[in-house]
Structure 1
Amino acid sequence: MSSAAQTTGSGADEVTVRGARLPRDQRRAQLLDAANDVFTTRGYHAAAMDDIAAAAGISKPVLYQHFDSKLELYLALLDQACDALVEVVRDGLDSTDHNADRVVAAMGAFFDFVSSTSGEFRFVFESDLTGDGRVQERLWRVNNDVADLIAAVIAEDTRLPPEHSKLLAISMVGLAQVGARYWVSDRSAAIGLEQAKALVSTLAWRGISGFPLHEPRERG
């Protein structure tokens, strides 16, 4: 008898593996978690589907029931990481109407992202597949989506033209991304998370606050 059997009904699609039955969406989440650990530890090129299957505690045929290739699995994780970054920046910007606090939230979101124990930031900031067009498109899109969120706030508060607001936003994204990547890779600097966020946010605020508000707001 095969070690893996798949049953599909009108409800949840279930997969039976070594005596354990999980709904298909739960199995997919389990496989993504295992693949995340393997890719972030070994990188794309050194990782093998055998390694991922072993990390998930399943057979390789079951892994291929969910993902046709290693690249498909990697792209699914990259999509997940990109969505997470956009969401954390959006949440930060939506958390306050105070302009200085918005800068802190936007810049700090990148540091929160890289400090996550999941390590998913490596798919966005340190991908070893940047030569692949599908990866390039996703990386361009996430930077553009985050910049659009920040640009909308800049345009609303300063009434700068859209192209000016977008350039400023892209520059802020670059500052936050490079700063966060340096911070997470250089632990010898002994700068705590909150201090790192404050330093980069102060730099960004000193720059963006030079553009006058269209309608100055009272500080609460």
Structure 2
Amino acid sequence: MQVVSAEASPNGKALRLPRDERRRQLLNAAHEVFVAHGFHGAAMDDIAEAAKVSKPVLYQHFPGKRELYLALLENHLAELTNLLMEALRSTGDNKVRVQATMRAYFSFIARDSKAHRLVFESDVSNDPEVSARLEAFNAHFANAIAEVIAEDTQLSMVEATLLGRGLAGMAQISARFWLETHGTLDIETASELIYRLAWRGISRFPKEI
């Protein structure tokens, strides 16, 4: 989701916008506040102020802070899923496929919008709905990897799914660690290192005959 500033009229009041556009504006403002303060540190007052709207306008679209957060999480997870699925489907060459997928993960983590903080560093990850959405994303990504592995090797789907979870976890943890030490390695070098590690491991499994 692209983060943009809220529009305002010359007198500082929010312009009347179509419903979908207003919703995007409110989500953009909420994104900025949640990234800066976390879920627990954010308040609906802060979000309304960032969006340059009154609280009644904000509540017309979202009944509460939790619903705003869940909507943002859904958007970011959908965006990351699209990036990763596009990388997985970009080629039939598995070596290039692993390389593209690792680079896609690193690229998402490196975005200036800091969307990854709402996805992977949430202070409300124990919320049942938040954890359910994260698990659904992790399962979908790992299963997509597993299908490729199972198709290309002699491994069962259970074995391939375990490997899929491992590769997905490797991408996420390494990309987040890289960002924390940003400046030491550029994104090309960092993602290439993790791709090479992943490929050297997964390529050693026997091919399906």
TM-score by length of 1: 0.87
Corresponding residue for residue 136 of structure 1: 131
Report the Cα offset of residue 196 of structure 1: 0.7
Corresponding residue for residue 17 of structure 2: 22
Q: Unmatched 5+ residue regions in structure 2? A: 1-11
| 1:39 and 2:34 aligned | yes
Report the Cα offset of residue 212 of structure 1: 2.1
| 1:184 and 2:179 aligned | yes
- Per-residue CA deviations over 1:121-151 (Å, capped at 9, x if unaligned) read 1122101101211111111111111111111
Alpha-carbon RMSD across the aligned residues, in angstroms, is 1.4
Amino acid of the structure 2 residue aligned with 1:210 = R
Report the Cα offset of residue 182 of structure 1: 0.4
Output aligned runs, 1:83-122, within 5 Å. Answer: 83-122=78-117
Partners of 2:45 and 2:201 in 1: how far apart?
Answer: 50
Aligned-pair identity (%): 48
Report the Cα offset of residue 213 of structure 1: 2.0
Amino acid of the structure 2 residue aligned with 1:200 = I
Corresponding residue for residue 3 of structure 1: none
- Per-residue CA deviations over 1:18-75 (Å, capped at 9, x if unaligned) read 4622110010011111111110111111111111111111111100000000000000
Aligned length: 198
Report the Cα offset of residue 159 of structure 1: 3.8
Contact 2:14 2:53 (C-alpha < 8 Å) held by counterparts? no
Corresponding residue for residue 195 of structure 1: 189
The counterpart of 2:43, out of the listed 41, 48, 51, is 48
Partners of 2:49 and 2:109 in 1: how far apart?
Answer: 27
Using a 3 Å threshold, how does the CA distance of structure 1 residues 68 and 19 change in structure 2: closer, same or farther?
closer
Partners of 1:83 and 1:31 in 2: how far apart?
Answer: 18
4+ residue runs of structure 1 moved beyond 2 angstroms? none
Report the Cα offset of residue 85 of structure 1: 1.4
Amino acid of the structure 1 residue aligned with 2:29 = A
- Per-residue CA deviations over 1:134-181 (Å, capped at 9, x if unaligned) read 111111111111111111111111142110110000000111110011
Report the Cα offset of residue 203 of structure 1: 0.3
Q: Unmatched 5+ residue regions in structure 1? A: 1-16, 216-220
Partners of 1:131 and 1:94 in 2: how far apart?
Answer: 32
Greater C-alpha Rg: 1
Amino acid of the structure 2 residue aligned with 1:175 = M
